[in-house]
Structures are given as C-alpha cells and as structure tokens.
Amino acid sequence: MNDLPLAGITVVSLEQAVAAPYATRQLADLGARVIKVERPDGGDFARGYDETVHGQSSYFVWLNRSKESITLDLKSADGLEVLGELIGSADVFVQNLGPGATERMGFGTDALTDAHPELVVCEISGYGSDGPWRTRKAYDLLVQAEAGLLSLTGSPEEVAKAGVSVADIAAGSFAYSGILAALFARATTGRGRAVRVSLFEALTEWMGSPAYYAAYGGSSPRRTGARHATIAPYGPFIAGDGGTVLLAVQNEREWGRLCTDVLGRPDLIDDPRFARNPDRVAHRGELEKIIADIVERYDADELAEQLETASIANARMSTMDQLWEHPVLAERERWREVPAPGGAIRALLPPADLAGVEPRMAAVPALGEHSDAILAELGRSRTEIDRLRSDGIV
C-alpha cells in the first residue's frame, strides 16, 4: 500500500454514538492511528444499537473500522492516569462526551491546549461549548428540530425526520475537516489548535439555502414530500407500470427539452403558467397533473430512458437492497471486505479519492481488543496489566 497521508499521526478519542466516531474513522481511513477509549461495561453505547451485522451494531461497524479499542474506567485514578499518558503521546484528542464531562476529569480543551501546545484538541458538543445552551443534551432528531430541518421535511400534512443522522454526520464532517486544517497549521507553526464543532451549528450551516429564502423572501419553503420546495418540476412521478422515476429540471433549456422530447407538449414551453421556474412552482399542482397523465404511457424503464436521451436528470428510487448491489458501486469497484467481530463485512471506500492512495480498510475492533497491547506500549508490566484488569479498570 502507498504511504497514507496521515501515517504517523496518533489520535486518542473519547467518543460515542456517531459524530466523533465518524470524524475519527475518516482520519483512520487516511492512515492515522486511532485509539478509541471505551467504558469497560459495554463500551461505546452505539455497540448496542442493534445486532444486525453478524451480531454487531450496524452503526458501530460503519463508524469504527481501522481503530484500536482500549477500555478504561475513567471514574478511577488509574484509568485517568492511563488516559493522561495516552493524550500526552498523541497528536490529536477528540471527544464528544456529555457537557462538562472532560472538564470534570481534568481534560477540558483549555487545560489540554495549555499543557500540550502541540496537541490538536477537538470537542464536539450539542449547542456549543459556551452560550446559553452549553449544558443542554443534544440528540440528532432534537437538533433536526431546532435547526429547522423538520419544518421542511415531510408532506404538507406531517413532518418527517431525515432517514439518517444528518446532524451527527454534519458535525463529524466539520470536525474531520477542522482537524485536518489544525494539523496543517501545526505543520507550519508548530502549535496545535483547538477545534470546536456543535451539532446545531453544523446542521444550521446545511440549512443555508432555506434560511436565506425565508429571511429575504418573507416565507419559509413549504414541505413538499420528495419534491423540491423551490424548483419545479423536480420530484417523483409514477409510470404506467407503477415504478417511480424522479426527474429534475434545473433551467429553461431543460424545461424546453422535457416539453418537446418527453412530454410531446411544446405548447407548454411558453404557457404563462409555466414559462419560468417561479411560475411553475406557483402552479405546481396543475403542472404535475399534466406530467403525471403523460408519463403513465411509459413504464418506468422507458420513462427513464426517454429522460436520459433528452438529457433530463433522472433517477430511480432505490431500496437499500438495490443500493447494496448498485451497478455504479459494483462497476467502479467501491466495495472492500474488512474483518469485524462475528465475521467479515463489506465496507464502502471513502468518497474522496486521493490519487495514488489506497485508503486503509482494516478491522472493526472488539471491545477492549487492544487494551493489553496499548498498556504495554505505555510501559505497564504484565503484572500491572493483570492488576488493572482484575480491578475492573480495563
């Protein structure tokens, strides 16, 4: 394997659930050594979310490949001592524990940056490390609500959450890029930087377009199900065989091709109800009724082919089974096999391809799998490791 960009970087992470594990897994993909610190009594609680992947959690195997797991009782002096030694030898420390937890341990961000000027410290919080909501708990669905996403997602009759943990994923992505930026700054200045990311502000950043639309347009975009709130036609249509095809018109050229090449209705191009996108949005119901009646003449495959020939963006609605076998992923060889507790699993390559670099795709760790080896690296004798284990510290 070619040298990985982050080879030689050690990350210690007090992480749980999604946001921090997503950030550190991406660091591990690029070659960083990620030491995941877990509780002896069950570890990262995401391990227990489900048992669908050879007895392991689907969340955990997705987020934790290529990491090492050490268990530590951080309510004990011995456990805190080991954590301090790990952090002292690390390049990056990441944590997303509850509000104030690391400060109570003596490992708050300010204390660590003072004690270790070269250390990059990343803390992921719910609503920020200061401010009026700094002590409030934050879970993904709750943040989706506070950031306004729920007000936009669903049908006019009912709100719906996003189907994946978008607030956590957004925060983990910003934490990852922030850590990379801090490591680059350290390479040029010799000093680490603190990186602070909140789930709320990460998702609020993603809400930029509808926020601007509401602030300057005078009204919030409406909930439109799988349709685009401010572009039409853009959404699902049912073909004659019952299959669902989504189409998206982004400009007037595409609108013209849709009318002439697919719908066979060139008269619609200059119809004042549909001449510009704002007109089409204002008369969405009438427009979609016209389109729906015409596309019933096609089966789903024929409709998709007609749209593709006309250079109109389109998609079929994949199930998870269909995604797993999607021809784009298969033909581009995006899958790898990695070991995991209970049996090998398929894992998707990271989406950012770096020329000449094959990402590391190593095993998902069992709870505490690397405890003894890591403690030995820190200079603990076999006798001392056995004592720590018998005392329930590891």
Residue range 75-97, pLDDT digits in tens: 999 999 999 999 999 999 999 99
Can you give the pLDDT at residue 1?
44
For 23-27, 85-89, 319-323, 378-382, which range has the lowest pLDDT when averaged over its residues? 319-323
Closest Cα to residue 33, out of 14, 15, 12, 19? 12
Q: Of 206, 208, 197, 201, which is closest to residue 19 (Cα–Cα)?
A: 197
The ranges assigned to domains in the chain are 10-207+327-390, 234-317
Can you tell me the mean pLDDT for 56-85?
96
Q: What is the pLDDT of residues 242-275, one digit of tens each?
A: 999 999 999 999 999 999 999 999 999 999 999 9
3-state DSSP helix/strand/coil % of the chain, to nearest 5: 40, 15, 45
DSSP string, 163-220: SS-HHHHHHHHHHHHHHHHHHHHHHHHS---EEEEEHHHHHHHHTHHHHHHHHHHSSP
Per-residue confidence (pLDDT) for residue 218, from 0 to 100: 87
Eight-class DSSP state of 69: E
Write the CA distances from 284 to 163, 224, 225, 277, 291, integer angstroms. 26, 11, 13, 10, 10
pLDDT in tens, 307-338: 999 999 999 988 899 999 999 999 999 999 99
- Using the predicted structure, report yes or no on whether residue 278 has a pLDDT greater than 50: yes
- Identical fold at 10-207+327-390 and 234-317? no
Instruction: Pick one of 3.20.20.60, 1.20.1090.10, 3.30.1540.10, 3.40.190.10 as the CATH number of 234-317.
Output: 3.30.1540.10
- Give pLDDT, residue 221: 87
pLDDT band at residue 277 using 50, 70 and 90 as cut-offs: very high
Catalytic residues: 228
The pLDDT of 369-394, averaged and rounded, is 96
- Residues above pLDDT 90, as percent of the chain: 90
Quick one: pLDDT at residue 2? 57
Instruction: Could you please state the CATH topology (level 3) that the domain comprising 10-207+327-390 is classified under.
Output: Rossmann fold (3.40.50)
Q: For residues 139-167, give the mean pLDDT.
A: 92
- Average pLDDT (334-355) is 95
